[in-house]
Amino acid sequence: MFNKFILLFLLSASCMIGQTKTNSKVDTYTSRKKVYEIKYAPERWIRADTSDWDVEFHDKYNLVTAYFIEYDYFISDKKLKSTIEDEYKEFGKIKNLKIYKKKINDLNVNYFECELDYNDMLYKYQGFFYSGKGGSIQMQFGAQAEAIEQNQALIDELNNGISIIN
């Protein structure tokens, strides 16, 4: 009985040590209208301000890029397909566009996935549109197909970092 108690103590102590090591620093990006925030781990995502998007993130290896923008208008479900196609038309024609409903935190979003053959390389894009307070927002991830597949957990982590500011 005493040996079982010691074993239980050691197991619980090792779990507690593991929990303290996984606590990492979290930074927050607040949207320009102060409606949304994105919490992210700076050791995995590097933030860069751009002129075309409100904010841009790169993974630490610079394989996956994430873009966020807040629009001053609403993008209807009927216009989603044409909006996505317009974004990529200067790079080529997108293929295998899928749009579906998905819940991210408390947001019911229109999630999309597509492919683009650009300079004989296959790129994959995914992300979502959400229409809410003050207009619409878009979060988009892009990379070579292999990088998207290998970094899906990292993409999901950043997606799950977005929320509405109360």
Written as tens digits, the pLDDT of the chain (166 aa) is 444 334 334 344 444 444 444 567 999 999 999 999 999 999 999 998 777 899 999 999 999 999 999 999 999 999 999 999 999 999 888 999 999 999 999 899 999 999 999 888 999 999 999 999 889 999 999 999 999 999 999 999 999 999 999 8
The dihedral built from the CA positions of residue 25, 30, 36 and 42, taken in this order, carries a sign that is: negative
What does the pLDDT read at residue 9? Answer: 40
Domains of the chain as residue ranges with CATH: 25-164 (3.40.1000.10)
pTM (2 d.p.)? 0.82
CA dist., res. 2 & res. 73, Å (int): 67
What does the pLDDT read at residue 16? Answer: 40
Whether 50 and 65 have beta carbons less than 8 Å apart is answered as: no
Both tokens of residue 139?
Answer: 């979060």
Both tokens of residue 38?
Answer: 């994105």
Give, as one character, the DSSP assignment of residue 35.
Answer: S
What does the pLDDT read at residue 23? Answer: 61
What does the pLDDT read at residue 24? Answer: 75
Give, as one character, the DSSP assignment of residue 87.
Answer: H
What does the pLDDT read at residue 91? Answer: 87
Measure Cα distances from 124 to 47, 86, 113, 148, 160 in Å. Answer: 21, 16, 7, 7, 20
Kindly provide the b/e burial profile for residues 45-57, where b requires at least 16 CB atoms within 10 angstroms of the residue's own CB.
beeeeeeebbbbb
67, β-bridge pairs: 56, 140
The count of residues in the chain is: 166
